Structure 1
């Protein structure tokens, strides 16, 4: 199968592919998604097959707005419309109770809930409008590996397996959306997966306390949201998290063990260690925003270096955006810090 790389002028072709149960990767502000008609069981099953995704891992459905979501949900949470009005289009996914048989059960992994999001990307919003379809859109990559933040990442993983890729350069944020569970209208919202919209931001805007589910889902458990597994976003090369004060010791230990080390960090750290390691991926600056945007790209880039034994990655305080960054990094590293 030829995978066509599509520009904005080829939206009609992308729509035709999706209508015929084809798969089209699309850009968002977070990562690239693998689009398929959410109402077609055959199309959705192809998504799982192409990605090698476990069937117990539910999908997020991408929509043009909350008016579209209303067609599918029941027991609407009293904060649902306010959340959509405040944050859509944007990196917030809402988990809602759905009407029976609103979607094929494969979309929700058999759960009575479905996750919805309106992405903040003009090309993808135009694709959603033109198609008139709700589109599933898990990350457009091989399941369990670092998510794609460029169309090149998508092409690398899925070339010859999907019909098309709607191209739009690098994504702005670099990690997947915040997932907020509002499926029970009698309970306060709960964050199932952290993202760029933070607990602090939600609490300030809503004026309520937001709970956070910190339970690590094991391989034998069924997650309520994508991205909840214990180990995820993981390259083939071993990843180890390095705290600020441990860099010198970590490099010394690696040299004693004759390890080929790759380093992912901002220029402040990279400039100190690059002469002592095999390869580096330098974030644009030393901020958590730059690290978050570069995390998946860096893991992919260093993983392609066959000579590396380990990838050392900088950590950040778990506050604000650092919560989302560390959530992804911990799963990529299988929770492993340098000790």
Structure 2
């Protein structure tokens, strides 16, 4: 496991891009807990995360983005009122489940759904990661299924001594709860 201590350095940003382009997995602080992330278009990287978490692929995963523009391709096909409803929650700790009208997100991320869960983060480090990557990232809590999510770097290392290619140092946000999840088409709160 490599530790990047400062994404402001050219080396750290280059290393992050190499890991994400090379089918790697990163661990990083989010709004409430440490997360695992990867390139959503890398089946190998997503499979690695699913294996680490012992999570079945059919459940699907969340994407996190730096801005609405990073996920515009998912929002543009939606009716105006649905798109505006989703955008009204961002940036912030709300994950919106939106229809993937043109099946642009791979099945290994969507799972058995024709929707995708997406959040535009307000956390500066998460935004920076997505901007450096140039894309939204898979984002899931850093813990094996059934265990408490990691809230400290030592817990990340204890849970996953192997399998994480890059651990990005930083501080958690001020949230104590995971993001709220809303089905943006129906308005139903799922979590």
TM normalised by structure 2 equals 0.88
Aligned pairs for 1:304-315 within 5 A: none
Shift of 1:108: 1.1
Q: Which of 95, 119, 122 matches 1:120?
A: 122
Aligned partners of 2:61 and 2:117 also within 8 Å: yes
User: 2-side partners of 1:33 and 1:49: how far apart?
Assistant: 15
Question: How does 1:1-339 map onto structure 2 within 5 Å?
Answer: 3-8=1-6, 9=9, 10-73=12-75, 74-76=77-79, 78-84=81-87, 86-182=88-184, 184=185, 187=186, 189-193=187-191
CA distance 1:106–1:77, shift in 2 (3 Å): farther
8 Å contact kept, 2:67–2:127? no
- Is the CA contact (8 Å cut-off) linking 2:61 and 2:139 kept in structure 1? yes
Deviation string 1:257-291 (CA, Å, 9 cap, x unpaired) is: xxxxxxxxxxxxxxxxxxxxxxxxxxxxxxxxxxx
Structure with the larger RCO, 1 or 2 (CA within 8 Å, 6+ apart): 2
Partner residue of 1:263? none
Q: Matches of 1:168 and 1:144 in 2, distance apart?
A: 25
Unpaired segments of 5 or more residues in structure 1?
Answer: 194-339
Give the TM-score normalised by structure 1: 0.52
2 CA distance for matches of 1:71 and 1:158?
A: 34
Cα deviation, residue 44, structure 1: 1.1
Is residue 32–residue 171 contact of structure 1 (8 Å, CA) maintained in 2?
Answer: no
Deviation at 1:83, TM superposition (A): 4.2
Indicate the structure (1 or 2) with the bigger Cα radius of gyration.
1
Closer/same/farther in 2, CA of residues 6 and 76 from structure 1, 3 Å limit: farther
